């Protein structure tokens, strides 16, 4: 009862402060032209939540729009640009899925194979009974029943320019989360752990580290020279500083999950500027890069077979509303007159979104250096314009 009262008090306090605090402007319900949208984006970044934002629109193999707003680093007054590097966070799951599909094209796996075929240590349970068959497809589509690791994953960070062994991390954390939420294939639930496991599958089959495989087989072929898992000299020159609004639903959790002295660089008004941070687990959330490079990825997925064959790209798309018809790699999707797939990303200091309209050959992405962003509403506004 005491714990409940404390939690209720904290929630009430946050709610009260939120009501009184200056809020960023809400996205308009609609815009009639690009100028109206850019006016809103300017007002949004002027509010400092987010301080900076970059956006790109790709049609076929051409970039039809690219622009940045606000500050990549407000402490040093460095404006955001198309080369500004932001954390992708969960958008990294799309390249992870692409890697799995590449390995299938090479005949090195089948996505309907059981995970334990490639990871003998993979052991999970459902209602106290051992589960012998979770497929790679179910991990890709979030229908495996594997639990998520939020909020604990927020604390799995480090501040050194270092990459950890991903298979070792799966072996470390899996026993803590080995009880499934539901029988495989019977429901869907988003899971970061599922994509950590896919990263271990990539390592087991390729004989490379996950990061080496992604770099050599996705980033370099797609021409994504300003993206990686560690900051290069070029990426550092264009590095966005992450920020976090003090008034945010996750703020009360941060001191329990993170060393705030190590995380926070400086407070500026109602915003916390954060130090450079890396997530330990890369297959779910580890990429860092520019909006220009995401444009290259979107073009590769729409107009060429540089990364995947047309068959594999089609296989990743949703085919209906049933669980077995969910997209692979893409967390959200819409069917109907204007079908799309998308993936969002969010974590300490950054928020992102990437959307693909496969039938229109249209791709849109937004990167921002704040934990807080109404990304879905913003990308809806971009999509509403005639490109």
pLDDT tens, 177-217? 999 999 999 999 999 999 999 999 999 999 999 999 999 99
Summary mean pLDDT of the chain: 93
The answer on pLDDT for 71 being more than 70 is yes
CA end-to-end span of the chain: 55
Contact assessment for residue 252 and residue 14, using Cβ atoms and an 8 Å cutoff = yes
pLDDT band (50, 70, 90) for residue 254:
confident
pLDDT band (50, 70, 90) for residue 22:
low
Backbone angles phi, psi at 355, to 5 degrees: -130, 145
Backbone angles phi, psi at 40, to 5 degrees: -65, -45
Burial of 338: CB neighbours in 10 Å, binned 0-12, 13-18, 19+: exposed
pLDDT band (50, 70, 90) for residue 19:
very low
pTM, entire model: 0.94
pLDDT of residue 5: 33
The C-alpha atoms of residue 365 and residue 375 are separated, in whole angstroms, by 10
Provide mean pLDDT across the span 279-304: 97
21/271: higher pLDDT: 271
Closest CA to 187 of 151, 141, 150, 149: 141
Provide mean pLDDT across the span 234-244: 97
* Cross-strand pairs, 361: none
CB atoms closer than 10 angstroms to residue 80: 26
The C-alpha atoms of residue 8 and residue 102 are separated, in whole angstroms, by 48
pLDDT band (50, 70, 90) for residue 251:
confident
Report long-range pairs for 15-20 (Cβ below 8 Å, ≥24 apart).
Answer: 17/247, 18/247
pLDDT of residue 130: 95
The answer on pLDDT for 170 being more than 90 is yes
Tokens representing 141 are 């589509």
pLDDT of residue 250: 78
The C-alpha atoms of residue 194 and residue 197 are separated, in whole angstroms, by 5
Chain segment 119-144, per-residue pLDDT in tens: 999 999 999 999 989 999 999 999 99
The C-alpha atoms of residue 331 and residue 157 are separated, in whole angstroms, by 23
Domain ranges, ordered by start, for the chain: 22-384
CB under 8 Å to 254, separation ≥6 — which residues?
154, 244, 260, 263, 348
Could you tell me the fold of the domain covering 22-384?
Beta-lactamase (3.40.710)
* Look-up of token digits 């950590």: 196
**In this structure, are strands 350-357 and 52-59 parallel, antiparallel, or unpaired?**
unpaired
Provide mean pLDDT across the span 107-114: 98
Contact assessment for residue 72 and residue 227, using Cβ atoms and an 8 Å cutoff = no
């Amino acid at each position: 009862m005491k714990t409940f009262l404390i939690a209720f008090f904290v929630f009430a306090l946050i709610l009260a402060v939120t009501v009184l605090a200056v809020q960023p402007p809400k996205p308009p319900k609609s815009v009639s032209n690009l100028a109206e949208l850019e006016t809103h984006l300017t007002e949004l970044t002027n509010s400092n939540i987010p301080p900076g934002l970059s956006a790109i629109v790709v049609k076929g193999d051409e970039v039809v729009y690219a622009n940045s707003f606000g500050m990549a680093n407000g402490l040093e007054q460095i404006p955001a640009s198309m080369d500004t590097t932001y954390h992708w966070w969960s958008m990294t799951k799309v390249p992870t899925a692409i890697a799995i599909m590449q390995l299938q094209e090479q005949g090195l796996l089948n996505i309907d194979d059981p995970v334990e075929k490639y990871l003998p240590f993979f052991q999970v349970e459902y209602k106290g009974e051992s589960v012998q068959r979770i497929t790679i497809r179910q991990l890709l589509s979030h229908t495996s029943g594997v639990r998520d690791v939020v909020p604990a994953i927020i604390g799995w960070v480090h501040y050194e320019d270092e990459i950890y062994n991903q298979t070792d991390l799966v072996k470390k954390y899996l026993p803590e989360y080995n009880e499934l939420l539901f029988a495989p294939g019977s429901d869907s639930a988003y899971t970061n752990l599922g994509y950590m496991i896919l990263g271990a599958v990539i390592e087991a089959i390729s004989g490379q580290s996950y990061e080496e495989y992604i770099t050599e087989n996705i980033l370099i072929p797609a021409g994504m020279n300003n993206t990686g898992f560690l900051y290069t000299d070029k990426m550092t020159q264009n590095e966005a500083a992450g920020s976090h609004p003090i008034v945010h639903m996750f703020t009360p959790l941060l001191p329990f999950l993170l060393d705030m002295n190590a995380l926070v660089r400086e407070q500026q008004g109602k915003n916390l500027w954060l130090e450079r941070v890396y997530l330990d687990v890369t297959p779910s959330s580890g990429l860092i890069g520019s909006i220009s490079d995401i444009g290259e990825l979107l073009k590769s997925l729409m107009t060429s077979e540089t990364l995947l064959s047309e068959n594999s790209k089609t296989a990743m798309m949703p085919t209906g509303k049933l669980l077995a018809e969910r997209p692979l790699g893409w967390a959200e999707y819409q069917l109907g007159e204007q079908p799309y797939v998308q993936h969002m990303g969010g974590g300490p200091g950054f928020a992102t979104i990437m959307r693909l309209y496969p039938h229109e050959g249209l791709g849109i992405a937004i990167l921002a250096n704040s934990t807080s962003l109404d990304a879905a509403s913003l990308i809806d506004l971009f999509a509403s314009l005639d490109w």
